[in-house]
């Protein structure tokens, strides 16, 4: 997992994504889940950017959040 932004910056980006993209974070996380089985952080970011025409910062924030939540599930 890559440390992308400060926690505050990450939360601010996540809060703006629905307004900027018209889709909720949960929708984006499902899209990543349903997308290709990529392992590298930057490959996932690149896929999101090109497949869904997202800004680089938004794509990084979504993948970072996806990785955080996936790691949290493994701890349960």
Q: How many domains does the chain have?
A: 1
Helix, strand, coil percent content, the chain, rounded in steps of 5: 75, 0, 25
* CA trace torsion 16, 33, 74, 5 (10° rounding): -30
Give tens-digit pLDDT for 49-58.
999 999 999 9
CA distance 3 to 19: 24
Q: Which two tokens stand for residue 66?
A: 């996806």
Confidence label for 1 from pLDDT (cuts 50, 70 and 90)? very low
Domain membership of residue 44 as a residue range = 4-75
Alpha helix stretches (DSSP H) within 22-55 = 25-34, 41-52
CA distance 21 to 52: 10
Give tens-digit pLDDT for 13-59.
999 999 999 999 999 999 999 999 999 999 999 999 999 999 999 99
- 7 or 75, higher pLDDT: 7
Q: What is the pLDDT of residue 54?
A: 96
């Amino acid at each position: 997992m890559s440390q992308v932004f400060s926690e505050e910056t990450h939360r601010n980006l996540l809060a703006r994504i629905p307004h900027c993209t018209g889709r909720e974070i949960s929708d984006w996380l499902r899209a990543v889940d349903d997308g290709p089985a990529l392992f590298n952080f930057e490959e996932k970011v690149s896929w999101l950017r090109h497949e869904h025409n997202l800004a680089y910062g938004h794509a990084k924030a979504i993948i970072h959040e996806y990785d955080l939540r996936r790691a949290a599930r493994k701890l349960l």
